Structure 1
Amino acid sequence: MGRYDDLEDFALYRFLRALKRTILLLFSFLIILGILVGAFVIYLKSTPLPNADIKQTTLIYSLDGKVIDAVDSGEKRIYVPLSQIPKDLIQATLAIEDRKFYNHFGFDLMRIGGAVIADLKNGAKVQGGSTITQQLAKNLYLTHEKTWQRKLKEALLTVKLELQYSKDQILEMYLNQIYYGQSAYGVQLAASTYFHKNVSELNLAESAMLAGIPKGPTYYSPFQNLEKAKSRQKLVLQAMVHEGYITQQQADEAYHQNLTFANPKERLFASKAPYFTQYIENELIHRYGITEQELHSGGLKIYTTMDLAMQETAEKLLKEKLPKDRPLQTALVSIEPSTGFIKAMVGGRDFRESQYNRVFAKRQPGSAFKPILYLAALEHGVTPLTQQKSEATVFFQENGQNYSVKNFDDKYPNRDIDLHYAITHSDNIYAVKTHLDIGMDKLVEMGKRLGIESRLDPVPSLALGSNLVTPMELTKAYATIANQGKKIEPTAIIKIEDREGNILYEKKEIEETQVITPAEAFVMTYMLEGVFEPGGTAASVAKILKRPVAGKTGTTNDYRDLWLVGYTPQLVTTLWTGYDNDEELKKYQSYRSQESYLTKEIWAEYMEKAHQALAPQLFTVPEGVVSLYIDPQTGKIANDRCPNPRLEVFIQGTEPKEVCDIHKGDQLLDPNKIKESEQESLWKRMKNWWND
């Protein structure tokens, strides 16, 4: 009996020892497992996730903050923070996609088990078990192939997302990442696409409709099948009731609410100024250092100088007035002279047919180049009264070649004319004689100073605009004159922001360089006003544009290019018309005068409408300018008996000193007392405009 007791005690002893060893081994295993799991978790949390930047659409804005274009890589998406997404849409998404989202660690085991059982019963995959975090991991980092390797990667990435981001951050990324159909990614573009609303403006019915779409963006799209979309909406609303987010009454009311959908045929963010936005994209890459990837998927915000009303006016006029029976092309660009802001840009008659921006095409400027010549002449002693004889002339050059110059349509005064007359009537003989008198290099130098970057050759024909320049270059030169001699580089971009709102670039000040004196600029402006007065080459403009305006027409000798470059104190606009293949306009002889008038008409109507919100202004008279009434017959100061006195302005020190000695008058005319007829011509248009 004692031996049995000993055996019994021994067996118990051995069992207890074995149990102790097992417990110790199990405890050690659990410790090691805990250490390994902890180390693995630390590893997953510390190692960065793969680079999976959510692609966002870059938006381009006009000066008044309206979207004029959107640039993307194929995924249209505007990222919005969770705080801007309505509670109804968040709860609708959670109820239908992942009701335990805030309570699990990336995986809903009960949901996964239920999905497996449902799939086994039906012999096919009929129910998804993925959580929001799993879907985000798959959409951000993986393909949609169905392999165990992909599933394992998805599981690891899901854990890493849960470890490295908060639940709110994960939900925010998910709502901005998922596809809602109709090329719309994320809730903001989904709201815009289906309801023409910002996401923050969605109500319960709209939120439930959107929340149901991602499961089948085509199948549940209200644009494709409203019946199925409504059925899905009802399912979402019932899921919200089940989760306690809303009452049954709220669900019923939302379901029966009439929804107003956007027009599915209307393009979201259709470009409102394609030539301008093309120019903006080019500037971003080549001037501001923005990469192609940043531009197309970085979610940038580009704030531009474009005046949308001016732009739409320009596009509408050109579309309506350019002849449809021949391929006449065009370019229009407007700049605010005091800032250099590009307010409107049209590079052709139809961007869909040709993306070539003719604002930067090199063409012969013809007589539109003459103001640059005459500015150089003013610097070298020529005055508005300096005379040259205008007649058909052959110039003999040092190289032995003769240069024959003709006026337009072979019309000549055959007498001495002064500079003011030559500008007003666009006399070619006067221009070439002046060019040769002051030295041909002076025009080249002045052109470069005013902003002409194209090559300029010191040859006699340069006076008549023989070298090629772009409409943008010519506009910049005229803007310098309009800005009292201060040159400003044209600007199209005011500010660039990244997706977080950080400012990458901002134009804070206007950089200007005084390249001609204010007096020289004003004297030139005063003479260029005559182009739009009776007898001037653009006199017809005055019937349309009722305010002070200066500028110059331009027609090349072979009649291939038509120009009008003009300005008010507030706006400089260049309009060019011609043919891309450099055909002569006179080929269509019956249209020759029509096209010339058409250019002026379009320019005038555009400028009139562009100034509708701007009060008329006179050009500012700077210091260093002297105003005198002169007698055109003698070129001397007029007295009260001179029959046709003309008010003229001079750079101080170049004005005439002698009084007319042919017409014996008692007193000089006071230039501060404008003659009634001249006052009428100056103010009538302004008064009419203001009354209109």
Structure 2
Amino acid sequence: MNRQQNERKAVSETGSRWGKLRRRIGWLTLASLLLLALSGLLLLRYAPLPAGASLQATQILDANGQTIASLQRGVNRSVAKLKDLSPWLIKATLAVEDRRFYDHAGVDWRGLARAAWVDLRHMSKEQGASTLTQQLARNLYLSHERTWTRKLKEAWYAARLEQKYSKDEILELYLNQIYYGHGAYGAEAAAKLYFNKPAKELTIAESALLAGIPKGPRYYSPHLNPEGSRSRQRKVLQAMLETGQLTAAQAASAARTEVHVRPLPEEEERAAPYFADYVKKVAIEELGIEERLMNEGGLTIRTTLDLRVQQLAEAAVKQGLQGGNAELQTALIAVDPRNGYIKAMVGGRNYRRNQFNRVFASTRQPGSSFKPIVYASALEKRTITSATRFRSEPTLFYFDHDRQIYRPNNYNGHYFRDEIGLRQAIASSDNIYAVHTLMEVGPEAVISMARRLGITSSFKAVPSLALGTFPVSPYQMTYAFSAFANEGKRPAPTAIMRIENRRGEVLYASHPRQAQVVTPALAYLTTNLLESVFDRGGTARRVSKMLKRPVAGKTGTTDSDAWFVGYTPELATTVWVGYDRGRSITSSEAHRAAPIFARFTEAALADRPPSPFPVPDGIASAYIDPITGLLASPVCPGEGKLEVFLQGTEPMRSCEPLGPLAGEKPAEQSPHLPWWRKLGGWWR
């Protein structure tokens, strides 16, 4: 009994000691928390705000470190008192940016909780919920990275701003600090830039348009994206209606009002302006760099461009358009097919007059420059070979289960009126041969090949696909042909190699990637055939003397577009010439693309010796009789010519004194030939 009492007493004493220890720990924890809270309150109350961040220009450099652009150039900032700003602009800004501005103490906890819940559900940091005060704090003191650490700092600075300044003072600071695009900081500078008037005189419609821009100055600029700007303006007007700042009649009237935006003032000429715009777009939209950080964060962006090559491209374009219609436009993009690096980009004739980059215009028909993709798909499927022959003459093609008829024509109505081989068809750009090929291999195979080569445009499985009737951009055509130049490997497009912040810390570094989309043998065979375009009788024969190295390529001409897509082992280039509104081009205008390509290519590679395209495994060569498509022999009717094939597809038979062996056709015949042509072949 005593033993049990002693055990209970020992347990009780131990429990008492642990209880006292827990109480002490509890009191210490509570004291620590109170001390932390008191420190936080003292810090919040008395700690000074940091100095506002100073603007530093972001530098865009070429591959050799030469400056392409300084994005802070032309910073436009004007300070105005709140009373000197249009009340409509103030109301529009509050309605769309922070409806509860006068009700919170710097942080809208209700909105923040809602945003946090959305972020947690979707495992992202996309919800902002930043008040107008938080936006001001971020612009003054912080970076624009999307992290919870930055959000907490932003909330703390916002609370300090609310303690130090009145609401109207904060609103005035914000409207003088915010970025409105095109170098304009603050509402006063933006009003003069866009409307050529002081901010005090802005109308409801103008105020709504201006208030919508800071959300995304590139997306909602009335100069860069008029439709997007107009759509954003309507959202602002709706927000003003919902918050009671406008009546329904006022909102409807403002939505109908046409806002006249002042043209941008001319800037001094910049190097590679279209490329600089593209780099900025890639950094913001693909790499996630905040636009304000891009413009004033002191970043260093090392790109793939070569300014020497760029200057040669601009000179070739200028010379190639001399003496023509002043409205005739052009685009040129050159890339290194070995790594996908963009080396030169010309998006139009005059950047000052028009900033639209035609390199990315996906509304232009490539015409015959699309044919190599058709032929590559058929060669890969072994549907045709270099010896396959079709008759060049007006032909009817039946498709859609023979319910529809397609009748293509050759350019200028020229036909050989005889059977021709693939090399001759490519050199002369024979449309009949191209459609025969597509009908043999099937349009689905051609579309599949285009997709593998990186072309994402919309296509229809119809015979006219063979003639490039579906729009493609110069950008996509260049990278598609790069795969042929690079032994079947399509490189990933690359414009930015490295981005560093003002402290030299690396924010992004590129890693060139390639995808083997066709075999090296097929790439070489396609290239070898495309070299014939520069031979006698080829569509680019006029510029062959301008080139002193092996070059492959293809012309393309439609009623309103002229193309040349070509390459060497080191450089793939597309040149487009035409009019923005689809106006028809003349015959002389159609011949301007190829000379621009030739002049630029030779100048860009002048310091490099000519490089032949390497011959891979899987290629066979044979002398072929051009009349029969069989192996040449002394009894053949034509003179033998050396031809290349995918190994195993070369002819196995030669000409015989009385023709080919029994049962062997002298050349492949298309099932799409008229019945009387087939009957004539049988009779022979």
The TM-score, its normalising length taken from structure 1, stands at 0.60
Aligned to 1:475: 478
Aligned to 2:405: 402
Letter in 1 for 2:302: Y
Aligned to 2:493: 490
Letter in 1 for 2:599: E
Letter in 2 for 1:320: Q
The change in CA–CA distance for 1:63 and 1:269 in structure 2 (over 3 A counts) is farther
Aligned to 1:358: 358
Shift in Å at residue 75 of structure 1? 4.4
Aligned to 2:338: 338
With 520-529 and 389-398 compared, the bigger mean Cα shift is at: 389-398
Q: Distance in 2 between matches of 1:499 and 1:351?
A: 29
Contact 2:561-2:590 at 8 Å conserved across structures: no
The change in CA–CA distance for 1:607 and 1:399 in structure 2 (over 3 A counts) is same
Contact 2:389-2:629 at 8 Å conserved across structures: no
Q: Deviations over 1:400-444 (max 9, x none)?
A: 332111000011111111111111110100111111111111111
Q: Deviations over 1:274-301 (max 9, x none)?
A: 0111110100011110011110111000
The change in CA–CA distance for 1:435 and 1:48 in structure 2 (over 3 A counts) is farther
Q: Distance in 2 between matches of 1:473 and 1:324?
A: 27
Aligned with residue 633 of structure 1, among 615, 627, 637:
627
Contact 2:373-2:446 at 8 Å conserved across structures: yes
Letter in 2 for 1:606: F
Aligned to 1:302: 301
* Aligned counterparts, 1:527-676, within 5 A: 527-556=529-558, 559-586=559-586, 592=587, 594-639=588-633, 644-662=639-657
Contact 1:63-1:305 at 8 Å conserved across structures: yes
Aligned to 1:280: 279
Letter in 1 for 2:642: L
Shift in Å at residue 73 of structure 1? 7.6
* Aligned counterparts, 1:248-327, within 5 A: 271-322=270-321, 323-327=323-327
Q: Percent identity?
A: 46
SS across alignment from 1:585: coil
Letter in 1 for 2:456: E
Contact 1:57-1:76 at 8 Å conserved across structures: no
Aligned to 1:464: 467
The change in CA–CA distance for 1:376 and 1:44 in structure 2 (over 3 A counts) is closer
Matched, 1:386 2:388: yes
Shift in Å at residue 623 of structure 1? 0.6
Aligned to 1:231: none
Contact 2:635-2:656 at 8 Å conserved across structures: no
Q: Deviations over 1:581-607 (max 9, x none)?
A: 101113xxxxx2x22332221111111
Contact 1:311-1:343 at 8 Å conserved across structures: yes
Letter in 2 for 1:370: K
Q: Deviations over 1:249-306 (max 9, x none)?
A: xxxxxxxxxxxxxxxxxx9995200011111010001111001111011100000010
Matched, 1:417 2:412: no
Q: Distance in 2 between matches of 1:484 and 1:466?
A: 27
Contact 2:561-2:576 at 8 Å conserved across structures: yes
Q: Deviations over 1:328-387 (max 9, x none)?
A: 100000010000000000010000111000001120000000000001101121111111
Q: Deviations over 1:54-103 (max 9, x none)?
A: 211000001111001011285499xxxxxxxxxxxxxxxxxxxxxxxxxx
SS across alignment from 1:271: coil
Contact 2:455-2:476 at 8 Å conserved across structures: yes
Contact 2:621-2:642 at 8 Å conserved across structures: yes
Q: Distance in 2 between matches of 1:343 and 1:51?
A: 41
Gaps of at least 5 residues in structure 2 are 1-38, 78-139, 142-159, 162-182, 184-265, 660-684
Q: Distance in 1 between matches of 2:352 and 2:74?
A: 19
The change in CA–CA distance for 1:532 and 1:662 in structure 2 (over 3 A counts) is farther
Q: Distance in 1 between matches of 2:360 and 2:53?
A: 36
Contact 1:55-1:75 at 8 Å conserved across structures: no
Aligned with residue 512 of structure 1, among 511, 514, 530:
514
Q: Distance in 2 between matches of 1:282 and 1:445?
A: 29
The change in CA–CA distance for 1:585 and 1:598 in structure 2 (over 3 A counts) is same
The change in CA–CA distance for 1:66 and 1:626 in structure 2 (over 3 A counts) is same
Shift in Å at residue 616 of structure 1? 0.7
Contact 2:562-2:591 at 8 Å conserved across structures: no
With 397-406 and 625-634 compared, the bigger mean Cα shift is at: 397-406
Shift in Å at residue 628 of structure 1? 1.8
Aligned to 1:442: 445
Shift in Å at residue 492 of structure 1? 0.5
The TM-score, its normalising length taken from structure 2, stands at 0.60
Q: Distance in 2 between matches of 1:405 and 1:284?
A: 44
Letter in 1 for 2:544: A
SS across alignment from 1:405: coil
The change in CA–CA distance for 1:654 and 1:577 in structure 2 (over 3 A counts) is same
Shift in Å at residue 640 of structure 1? 7.0
Shift in Å at residue 631 of structure 1? 2.1
The change in CA–CA distance for 1:343 and 1:663 in structure 2 (over 3 A counts) is farther
Q: Distance in 1 between matches of 2:313 and 2:331?
A: 10
* Aligned counterparts, 1:135-154, within 5 A: none
SS across alignment from 1:627: strand
Contact 1:69-1:269 at 8 Å conserved across structures: no
Contact 2:390-2:419 at 8 Å conserved across structures: yes
Aligned to 2:167: none
Q: Deviations over 1:311-342 (max 9, x none)?
A: 11111222233135441100000010000000
Shift in Å at residue 388 of structure 1? 1.1
Q: Distance in 2 between matches of 1:511 and 1:641?
A: 52
SS across alignment from 1:636: coil
Q: Deviations over 1:474-522 (max 9, x none)?
A: 11110011111111121111101111110111123x2111111110010
Shift in Å at residue 656 of structure 1? 1.4
Q: Distance in 2 between matches of 1:663 and 1:59?
A: 75
Letter in 1 for 2:641: R
The change in CA–CA distance for 1:391 and 1:297 in structure 2 (over 3 A counts) is same
Q: Distance in 1 between matches of 2:652 and 2:309?
A: 46
Letter in 1 for 2:607: A
Q: Distance in 1 between matches of 2:571 and 2:633?
A: 37
Q: Distance in 1 between matches of 2:369 and 2:392?
A: 19
With 617-626 and 499-508 compared, the bigger mean Cα shift is at: 499-508
Shift in Å at residue 639 of structure 1? 4.6
Q: Give aligned pairs, total.
A: 436
Q: Distance in 2 between matches of 1:635 and 1:390?
A: 15
Contact 1:68-1:269 at 8 Å conserved across structures: no
Q: Deviations over 1:158-183 (max 9, x none)?
A: xxxxxxxxxxxxxxxxxxxxxxxxx9
Q: Distance in 2 between matches of 1:481 and 1:358?
A: 24
SS across alignment from 2:447: helix
Q: Distance in 2 between matches of 1:512 and 1:75?
A: 40
Q: Distance in 1 between matches of 2:404 and 2:43?
A: 85
